[in-house]
Each structure stands twice: as C-alpha cells, then as structure tokens.
Structure 1
Amino acid sequence: MTPVVSVITVCFNAARDLQKTIESVRKQSYNNIEYVIVDGGSQDGSRELIAASGDVVSKWVSRSDKGLYYAMNDGLDMASGEYVLFLNAGDVFFECSTLEKIFSLSPSDMDIYYGDTMICDSSGKSVGRRRLKLPVQLSAKSFRWGMSVCHQSVLIRRSICSHYDTAYRITADYDWVLSAIERADQNKICNTGLFVSCFQQGGLSSRHIKKANLERFVIMKKHYGLVQSLWFNFLMVFRLLFTYCKLGRI
C-alpha cells in the first residue's frame, strides 16, 4: 500500500527553518509524497528557496494571508493526496524512512495513523519526548487532558479533514485533530508505535500560554460539554500543583 501523502508546510519569514523541513521531506525514502508549501509572502529568501526546490515541492504559493490557520486551510485546499500531514517550518520527520515504515508496518486503509513526537531545540538537538504520554489507542477521550498527540505526528485521511476553525487563533490544531478523530471510523485509528516527527519547541501556543488555555477550554466545552470540561480542567490544575509540590517549587 503506497497512498499519496500530502505533506503541508506553512511558513512566514522562516527561511532557515524552512530549509530543514524541505530537506527532511526530500530525504524521505517513501516515493508517494505530494509536498505543498504555503508561504505568507516572506521577504527573507523563503520564496527563492521554495522555487529552487522543485525536485521535492509539488505545489506552492507565496502571498499575504490572515494568519497561521488561514494558511493551513489554503494548504488543505491545495492538497490532493489520500492522507495529509502538517510539518511546519522547523519541524522534520523523525527519520528518513518514517513514512515508508508507517505504510509497510501498519495495517492498510486506516483513517488515521499516529505516533510519538520528539521535541527539539532550534539547532535540531533532541531535548526529550513530549510531556503528555502517547495514548495506546487514540480516541476523543484522549484529548480531555489536552493535546495528547502532536498534529505533526498524525496522518489523517483527507476526506475526513475539516478546515481549521479560524475563530481559534492559538489552538485550532487541538480542535482540528479532535474533530477528525470524531469523524473517523474508530476501528481505523492506528497507533504506528513509531516516532513520526521532531517538533521544534517554541510554537505559537507556548508563547501565548494564557490565551491558549482559554481557547482550549472553549474547545473542550464544544466537544465534551461544560461539566466535563470544568472537571478535567480542575484535575489538570490539581495534578500540576501536585507535581510542583513534589519538585519543591511551591
């Protein structure tokens, strides 16, 4: 099974990070990749870099947009593969054979394939895996504790993907992945058992923690209702305080 995977990258004035991502896609041993880049009208050489990468870039556009999730929606509209995966500027595949391993070692015809994520600094050095443990079996319930899987490590069948809800400025990816899981055949969600991507720390939500938490609560209320959302947020705060107490920070 070798379905076409649309890898989508959005970027803005991030030529150095974009170079890493392009190289990572270029080095994939899997051949059925449609690589889509949406650039926000960069002035730092990104457009020239993309134009010079025609051996790997299938489709691209460079124009001003209203923000990150608008650009990601543009990428979805441009994509034509059976599956989509977002790797934004600075994010890379965990290894050169990542996609090949996913489709050779996992059951075929899944709605969603997911795996673990390694966190890296701006130099590409690993600083450890994500804090949230990857669910053995991903479901909507997995997201009651937060973003239980990085969207950089989730391949989703394009036919069940919605647009990102641009009403959320910071955490629309949380809503997007959760919505896709709710649409998926629950028997066709596959834990690959692999590390899929290396995520460059310092993303949008980490720079706007308070607003991200408020948006996340609104999204939880949308999917789980008010009572469950309040309860799980209370438990998350309690667990955080308990952890800080154990570390002697309180």
Structure 2
Amino acid sequence: MTTISILTCVLGEPQALRATADSIKPYLSDRINWIIKFSDKSDKKFVESFSGEYISIQQKSDSSLYDAMNQCLAISQADYYLVLGAGDTILPDGMKAILEKLSAGSLTDVSYHPPILFSATGAISQPYPNSLKYFMSCPHPSSLYKVENSLAIGGFDSSYRIAADYDHMSRYAITFGEGVALNSSPLVGFMGGGISDNRALEGKLEVNLVRIRIWKAPDIRIYGDLLHETATTIADNIRHNFS
C-alpha cells in the first residue's frame, strides 16, 4: 500500500497554518499523513491545537528551514512526500488526480510534478522537469518525491539558505531521473511571501550556484544569464521611473 507524508515546517505561530490544516484534514487516512515540525520556540498551546489522527507533531530546535525539513524526512514512514508551507493549501481537483493514482496502485514513478496555483494572483505554473538544469522549472510545493530516495542523497543541503530545494531537486533528478509532469489541475495553492520572495536576488544567486555545482553549467552561460537578468531589471526600472 503506497503512502504519502505531507511535510510542513513552522516558525512561530502563523495563523495561516489553520487554512493549511483545513485543506489537508479531509484527506488524512492510513495512506496520507501530515508531519508538522514546529520550532522549539513556538507556543505550546498553538502547537497542541493541531493534534489529530494521522498527524505527527514534532517540536525541537533546528538551524534552518532545511534542517527542519531533514528532521521531517528522517521520521517519515511513507513512500512519498510533498512539502507545504504554512498558508499553502491542498486543492481538491488536483488532489483527486493523486488519489486516483493511489487507489489504482499506479503511483510508482520516482517523482511527480503537478501544476501549482499562486494564490495571490491566480496564476498557474506548469512543471517542466526536463528544464531543471536551467532553473527551478518544477514547483517544490506540490511535487511528490520518494522518501527513501531523498534520504539516500543526504536530504536537503542546509548550507543554502534559500535554494536548497532547487539543489535537492537537481541532485534527485540526476541520480534517479526527472520524474513525471502531471497534466492535471493544480495540487497546491501556494501562498508565497516567504524568504524566496523577500530575498529574491540572494535566491537567484544561490540558484546559479546550484547550476554551477550540480549541473556543471559553464561560466560563460552563467555570465550570459546574469547579464540578461540584470540588464532586463535595470532597463525596466529606468522605463518605469524616468520620463
């Protein structure tokens, strides 16, 4: 029987986590469980308010988001996992496609990449696993990976502050294959507003480090892409701010 863990790492007491819980609870069963990793500084009453059947709550210290993610992976007993942030939600139509695969016993590939919905704008991002060498072409929230495979490559590299998810997805694809892009409705409503949005430039620099270190991108390609990105950003800034 194939099983899935949903992993959520929480800092503080974000009220947006209530929406995440409400979206997950209808699907919790002996095949789908939720692991919530709270910071050791989170309020105890807030933490306990999320207790329930098929929910595993962990509260201990960690050094970063990705250290916390590795703690979740280490305790998951499931075959697959997907990651949701506090405020992200499971979408019924997208979940229906996953449940159909679970019921049919056809959830067997190394990874699956459904589309994702950006809740703030309504935009939908389609996955392109064969473009991972160039950028994070599959959304990390909503992608399903095998727990044992992620552990076999050492989990998430916590030396990255922002792009450890891209690093992990890249190493996973090189080791096990790119996986399957699902032609389905979005699985996750992504809230956004996290560190990757607030420190976007730093995130882009880390992404390019991954391209160099993991994908062995030549320096000239990185220089070219950086030139294109910075020139476009500067040109747009001038266009919008100077008459």
TM-score between the two structures when normalised by the length of structure 2: 0.83
Q: Which of 225, 228, 233 is matched with 1:232 structurally?
A: 225
Per-residue deviation, 1:235: 3.9
Q: Secondary structure at the match of 2:82?
A: strand
Per-residue deviation, 1:77: 0.5
Task: Indicate the residue corresponding to 2:75 in structure 1.
Answer: 78
Greater strand fraction, Structure 1 or Structure 2? 1
Task: Indicate the residue corresponding to 1:124 in structure 2.
Answer: none
Per-residue deviation, 1:31: 5.6
User: 1:1-250 counterparts in 2 under 5 A?
Assistant: 3-28=2-27, 32-41=31-40, 42-43=42-43, 45-50=45-50, 53-57=51-55, 59-95=56-92, 98-104=94-100, 108-121=107-120, 127-130=121-124, 133-135=125-127, 137-139=128-130, 141-144=131-134, 146-161=135-150, 162=153, 163-186=155-178, 188-222=179-213, 223-227=215-219, 228-237=221-230, 244=236, 248-249=239-240
Q: Deviations over 1:173-209 (max 9, x none)?
A: 11112222222235x4242432010111201111112
CA contact 1:15–1:46 (8 Å) conserved in 2: no
CA contact 2:17–2:87 (8 Å) conserved in 1: yes
Q: Secondary structure at the match of 1:35?
A: strand
CA distance in 1, matches of 2:119, 2:21: 17
Return the letter of the residue paired with 2:195: L
Per-residue deviation, 1:16: 1.0
State the number of aligned residues. 232
Return the letter of the residue paired with 2:74: D
Q: Percent identity, please.
A: 21
Q: Secondary structure at the match of 2:113?
A: strand
CA distance in 1, matches of 2:94, 2:138: 17
Return the letter of the residue paired with 2:39: G
CA distance in 2, matches of 1:178, 1:193: 23
- Residue 100 to residue 213, structure 1, CA distance change in 2 (3 Å): same
Return the letter of the residue paired with 1:164: F
Per-residue deviation, 1:87: 0.8
CA distance in 1, matches of 2:177, 2:161: 28
Gapped regions of structure 2 (runs ≥ 5): none
- Residue 212 to residue 190, structure 1, CA distance change in 2 (3 Å): closer
CA distance in 2, matches of 1:55, 1:169: 33
Deviates more, 1:228-237 or 1:59-68: 228-237
Per-residue deviation, 1:78: 1.0
CA distance in 2, matches of 1:24, 1:134: 22
Gapped regions of structure 1 (runs ≥ 5): 122-126
CA distance in 2, matches of 1:44, 1:119: 31
Per-residue deviation, 1:36: 0.8
Q: Secondary structure at the match of 1:169?
A: coil
CA contact 2:94–2:184 (8 Å) conserved in 1: no
Per-residue deviation, 1:134: 2.1
- Residue 167 to residue 196, structure 1, CA distance change in 2 (3 Å): same
CA contact 2:116–2:188 (8 Å) conserved in 1: yes
Q: How much is the aligned-residue C-alpha RMSD, in angstroms?
A: 2.7
Return the letter of the residue paired with 1:217: N
